[in-house]
Structure 1
Amino acid sequence: MVKNIGGKDFFEMLWQSAVKLRGALEPGEYKHPVLGLLFLKYVSDSFVEMQENLKQWTADPNNEDYYEEDEEDRLAIINDRDEYNAENVFWVPENARWEHVAKQAKDTNIAKILDEAMGEIEKANPKVKGLLYRGFSLLKLPPAKFGELIELFSKIGFNSKDHKAADVLGQAYEYFLGKFALAEGKGAGAFYTVDSIVKVLVEIVAPHKGQLYEPAIGSAGMVVWSEKFMESHGGQRGDISVYGQEYTHTTWKLAAMNLIIRGIDFDLGESNGDTLLNDLHKDLRADYCMANPPFNQDDWGAEKVRGDVRWKYGEPSNGNANYAWIQHMIHHLNDKGKAGIVMANGAMTSNNNNEDVIRAGIVEDDLVECMVALPPKLFINTQIPSCLFFLNKNKKHKGKTLFIDARHLGRLETAAQRVFDEVDIQKIAETYHAWAETGETDKAYECIPGFCKAVDKADIAAQGYNLSPGRYVGAAEVEEDEAEFEEEMALLTEALTGQIVKSVKLDVEIKASLKEVGYDV
């Protein structure tokens, strides 16, 4: 069995298993069988572990809750589905368990066997009906490819004694989403949210009890971390009601599976949908809202929602959806609601008339409680400079906004990847809470030149409603034109990379087509 389940080497090994399918399938295709097999291994291991526990408990005279002297009564408990449901463990029929599948790994019909196993799990667990991957037979892969993956996954043991298996599975989903997005060559709209950013968002928004809404939910990583935060602060599962929406059908299913596995109740709508054009939760007014929407989304269909009730501060531009997302989330907050939003830096300083008017309106309405400038290289999939907006409809410090410049925090884990350690996350979060939850004369908070400063709304207006922390904290300021240049270059570089990938793919397709008609290029 693989040791250090959930460690960096573990996830890299999983990724290498997916890479085994490269060449035979496109990245957008091979993520489904890999994640499907990962889920199958997880539910099977969890079921077998629970079954073994019940066998031990029912045979132990010292276990007053489970001990049964009569063998028939013992078997009744061991095979009682309610016992498994109570521990949030899927019931896995015998012919769907990993041991059964692994024994047939070299069978020429292994793809069909896998599809049937997934079907059996859906029948036994109605809550996942229609969510599981059942397309192994459609891939037309050599059986040996499936055999290799099954053999590799057999080395993984999801044992709750060593780790919280559901957490590892959820982390694997998150890891794969980022890796697959890179492999598919998608742009800024395809990235997922790394732990460094998720933890800062959750620590500041601090969801304790009420309704949590995530309009670009991805694989539900923010919700999962919010649940952990709530429980670590004395809350109980069920204190938070989860609502969300996701554009991509496959990612929507991943989110649903991630939440089901962890026993979190949710409403993601009946299916996937475009949040900006087809709001599935029109009547929702949430206590908390968090999102990492696509950066600088252009040509998003603004003309289809002209005059929408969400656009209180102005019509968002079709050339950039940043302020459509921001206004959408403001609309869905209740009178005391808080929101944390990941945004491209351009949203703080844009020179677009529509955005300038909207931003001014939001500031004048005293909704912007805190702005955090982030360092580069936090995201795996994009180099676009980013920031965090924190909005609050019930600010303690009326007429003021806290600016935090965190661009110099974190460390380079690799040449291309920066991460926040726990000390960095706590420095940002504690600075916010020391200011947001104390009075003007309390000594818990103090402005630190180059890092943080509380600013009056009138001073922000005097700066043209510029929300860049570097403009106010007094040091380490990046000039506005330099920031705009960096973002524009990042956008152009990503666009060029995408065009190059498409060009190479088209070149291969053209050569193949010419070869079919007798021209070997």
Structure 2
Amino acid sequence: MENTEQKFLKELDDKLWKSADKLRSNMDAANYKHVVLGLIFLKYVSDAFEERQEQLTELFQIASDDNIYYLPQEEFGSTNEYQSAIKEELEVLDYYREANVFWVPKAARWNTIKEKAVLPIGSVLWKDEAGNDVKLRSVSWLIDNALEEIEKSNTKLKGILNRISQYQLDNDKLIGLINTFSDTSFTKPVLGGQQLNLHSKDILGHVYEYFLGQFALAEGKQGGQYYTPKSIVTLIVEMLQPYSGRVYDPAMGSGGFFVSSDKFIEEHASEQHYNAAEQKKHISVYGQESNPTTWKLAAMNMAIRGIDFNFGKKNADTFLDDQHPDLRADFVMANPPFNVKDWWSETLADDVRWQYGTPPKGNANFAWVQHMLHHLAPTGSMGILLANGSMSSNTNNEGEIRKRLIEEDLVECMVALPGQLFTNTQIPACIWFLTKDKANGMVRSDKKRDRRGQFLFIDARNLGYMKDRVLRDFTSDDIAKVADTFHAWQQGEGYEDIAGFCKSASFDDIKKHDFVLTPGRYVGAEEQEDDGEPFAEKMARLTAQLSEQFAESKRLEEEIKRNLGGLGYEL
């Protein structure tokens, strides 16, 4: 992305967040995200709708052999009649649906909201279908009415737009937000008078991603229930390469893995010699989420990006109410909550999903692993984020389950992550990559070799940088280094063990380590550069240097005491 576009997005982020953050004094962060994201959604769909209207207006006036929209002016008696005909034609719903643009009823259009929000409470807004006056009750009611009208006209959105009246926000606060968002355009981005090459969905997607990250920070511990750091999601997607097939996330949160899969296809389209829009038709996404508001948030996240999705009939517990019982996915990706204790039900005792051992009742880590394996296609692959304890714990059958997974040759790669990557937990984490076919199957079998009996370990704990005082992040080079290493090992081209970073191990190697999968045990220590100085000489030199420094420290200490004594102080 060019610097001007990055600058535009940065300024947009700062402006919108500064405005939205004013709500923090009035309501909990877990709630005001729904108000803000709801308003952003309304602004986006309205901007996209107006953009389509402008395109249609132009088409109505351009005569050509293949323009099915053309309205010849000579067929109308006057200019006013002609303009009225165009306005009437602009309200034909099919023109918008054919362009994959949400239909926005007049009551839900941004200009209507902005204009009506400042009217005195009780003002007549319009007539309803029965001819009765519709009066302004509050600004939050006006917004909820807009959301309801959009849901009625767009079946994809039915039941997923969160209403805001329940949060009882002051009218003035909402009017302030509306005015701020009114100065933002998702369809005509301009910076310094220069028109930028950014698509509306790109801008909206960026804003959504930024806000979810900020809300995760604001919410603290609970934020991680729906937000996974972008760099980790990107890393897993880059390693699994979901070009086509069914993608499943049983703990989807706001749908970050699906968004990244969509972006992955776009970014890699040219190098794979295919059309991104056509390729997306070969991807279908399935998800599940127990939190009702987060389930709606994920659905809205997909809808605004034009991603077809199946998130089940409702929000539901993945273990107790599987919304996709017959699904066998080509790619499964998830960041389930770590070390969940309160998950067990006696109805799960003989569950068909526990093929490799019954998970402990006090920790759901291996329940997530086996649930994902159950839903994995015979040639599928999966990546799951888990706490580091999953690599070595022998508590309550966990060691036996891990041993079975290794013996069945399901584990393909283990990646140890650095600390401080998450906003909501300091628990060290790792990524498990598993597959049911290490022979040469997978989705693109021609690019992979027979990897049976081999396991890749990557220690990425030294990668990344501190983006602020508390959070660490990966650079694009860090992500590429890990993903490229994985792919080179899979393909048998250009891979080599690197001390301290990666190691291709055998089953016997893992057996010697009692089936512990911690990468540090296998990759060893990073090789130190040899400076040519013999060890004995170096130790003698460093010891002498340390002795000199101790002596100098003692001298300085005595001098400070003398100086303080001269001033009448004793140390």
Q: When the two structures are superposed, what TM-score results if normalisation uses the length of structure 1?
A: 0.85
Inter-partner Cα distance in structure 2 for 1:327 and 1:285: 13
Aligned residue in 2 for 1:455: 505
- 225, 232, 249: which is aligned to 1:197? 232
**Aligned residue runs from structure 1 range 167-182, under 5 A:** 167-182=202-217
Q: Does 1:92 align with 2:120?
A: no
Contact 2:226 2:253 in 1 (8 A): no
Structure 1 residue 289: Cα displacement: 0.4
Amino acid at match of 1:144: D
1:163 to 198, 201, 220: 198
**Equivalents in 1 of 2:32, 2:229: separation in Å?**
22
State how far apart, in whole Å, the 2-side matches of 1:124 and 1:394 are.
Answer: 45
Partner of 2:117: 105
Further displaced range: 100-109 or 456-465: 100-109
**Which whole-Å deviations, capped at 9, do the CAs of 1:170-218 have from their partners, x for residues lacking one?**
3433433343344334358525111211111111111122111111111
SS of residue paired to 1:449 = coil
Give the match's secondary structure for 1:60: coil
Matched, 1:29 2:31: yes
Aligned mates of 2:88, 2:280 — CA distance in 1 = 29
1:322 aligns with 2:392: no
Please give the per-residue CA displacement for 1:46-78, whole angstroms capped at 9, x wherever unaligned. Answer: 111111122123323469435624246855663
Matched with 1:82 is 94
Which stretch has the larger CA shift, 148-157 or 81-90?
Answer: 81-90
User: Contact 1:68–1:74 (CA<8 Å) still a contact in 2?
Assistant: no
Cα pair distance change 1:424/1:317, threshold 3 Å: same
Please state how far the C-alpha of 1:139 moved relative to its aligned partner: 2.9
Give 1:437's match in structure 2, choosing from 480, 491, 501: 491
CA contact (8 A) 2:215 2:223 kept: no
Please list the CA deviations of residues 327-364 of structure 1 after superposition, one character each: whole Å capped at 9, or x if unmatched.
11011111111001111111111131411111111011
CA distance in 1, matches of 2:495, 2:381: 21
Structure number, greater radius of gyration? 2
Match of 1:362 among 383, 405, 416: 405
Q: Of residues 513, 523, 539 in structure 2, which corresponds to 1:473?
A: 523
**Correspondence for 1:516:** none
Question: Does structure 1 residue 140 correspond to structure 2 residue 142?
Answer: no
Secondary structure in 2 matching 1:186: helix
Separation in 2, partners of 1:211, 1:6: 35
- C-alpha displacement at 1:257, in angstroms? 1.3
Which residue of structure 1 aligns with residue 150 of structure 2? Answer: 121
Partner secondary structure for residue 201 of structure 2: helix
How far did residue 88 of structure 1 move?
1.9
In structure 2, list runs of 5 or more residues that go unmatched: 74-81, 122-137, 189-195, 439-449, 528-571
C-alpha separation in 2, matches of 1:13 and 1:468? 44
Choose from 264, 270, 275 the match for 2:307. 264
Instruction: Give the aligned partner of residue 48 of structure 1.
Output: 50
Tell me if the contact between 2:382 and 2:434 (Cα under 8 Å) persists in the aligned partners.
Answer: yes
Displacement after TM superposition at 1:437 (Å)? 1.7
**CA distance in structure 1 between the partners assigned to 2:221 and 2:424 by the alignment:** 8
RMSD over aligned Cα, in angstroms? 2.3
Counterparts of 1:455 and 1:315 in 2: how far apart (Å)?
27
Q: Secondary structure at the match of 1:252?
A: helix
Aligned in 2, Cα 1:429/1:69: closer, same or farther, shift over 3 Å? same
Question: Which residue, out of 473, 477, 491, partners 1:423?
Answer: 477
- Partner AA of 1:412 in structure 2: M
1:411 matched to 2:423:
no
The alignment partner of 2:264 has SS state of helix
Residue by residue over 1:104-127, the C-alpha shift from the partner in whole angstroms, topping out at 9 and shown as x without a partner, is: 333343222212211221122122
Written as runs of structure 1 = structure 2, the 5 A alignment for 1:230-245 is 230-231=265-266, 232-233=268-269, 234=274, 236-245=279-288
Instruction: Summarize the Cα distance change of 1:167–1:255 in structure 2 as closer, same or farther, 3 Å threshold.
Output: farther
Amino acid at match of 1:363: I
Q: Give the whole-Å Cα distance in 2 for the aligned partners of 1:7 and 1:318.
A: 46
Distance 1:371 1:39 in 2: 39
Offset of residue 14 of structure 1: 2.9
Distance in structure 1 (CA, Å) of the matches to 2:173 and 2:5: 24
Question: For 1:218 and 1:387, how far apart are their aligned partners in 2?
Answer: 19
What do the CA deviations read for 1:402-459 (whole angstroms, capped 9, x no partner)?
Answer: 1111111122221222222211111111111111022xxx5x1111111111000121
Q: CA deviation at 1:291?
A: 0.4
Matched, 1:130 2:159: yes
Structure 1 residues 266 and 50 mapped into 2: Cα distance closer, same or farther (>3 Å)? same
Unaligned runs of 5+ in 1: 478-521
Q: Deviations over 1:465-517 (max 9, x none)?
A: 1111111111159xxxxxxxxxxxxxxxxxxxxxxxxxxxxxxxxxxxxxxxx
Q: TM-score, normalised by structure 2?
A: 0.78
Secondary structure of 1:330 counterpart: helix
Contact 1:302 1:317 in 2 (8 A): no
In the TM superposition, what whole-angstrom CA distance separates every residue of 1:369-413 from its partner, at most 9, and x where no partner exists? 111111122222222211111111111310011111111112222
Q: Is the 8 A contact 1:178 1:191 kept in 2?
A: no
Moved more, 47-56 or 36-45: 47-56
Q: 1:302: how far off?
A: 4.5
**In structure 1, C-alpha distance between the alignment counterparts of 2:325 and 2:71, rounded to whole Å:** 56
2:220·2:424 contact (CA, 8 Å) conserved in 1? Answer: no
Identity of aligned residues (%): 50
In the alignment, what sits opposite 1:511? none
Aligned residue pair count:
471
Q: Secondary structure at the match of 1:402?
A: strand
Give the letter for the 1:452 counterpart. Answer: C
1:154, 1:76 → 2: CA distance? 26
- For the structure 1 residues 334 and 6, does the alpha-carbon distance in structure 2 shift closer, same or farther, using more than 3 Å as the test? farther
Change (3 A) 1:5 1:86: farther
Are the equivalent residues in 2 in contact too, given 1:401–1:456 (CA < 8 A)? yes
Residue number in structure 2 paired with 1:16: 18
Q: Equivalent residue of 1:472, what SS?
A: helix
Letter of the 2:110 partner, please give it.
Answer: W
Structure 2 letter corresponding to 1:296: N
Q: Deviations over 1:111-166 (max 9, x none)?
A: 22212211221122122122112232x33322111111111111221116642322
Q: Distance in 2 between matches of 1:69 and 1:106?
A: 37
Indicate which of 252, 260, 265 corresponds to 1:225. 260
Q: Which has the higher contact order (CA 8 A, sep 6+)?
A: 1
Q: Is the 8 A contact 2:221 2:423 kept in 1?
A: no
In the TM superposition, residue 243 of structure 1 has moved relative to its aligned partner by: 0.9
Q: 1:63 to 1:205 in 2, by over 3 A?
A: farther
CA distance in 2, matches of 1:415, 1:189: 19
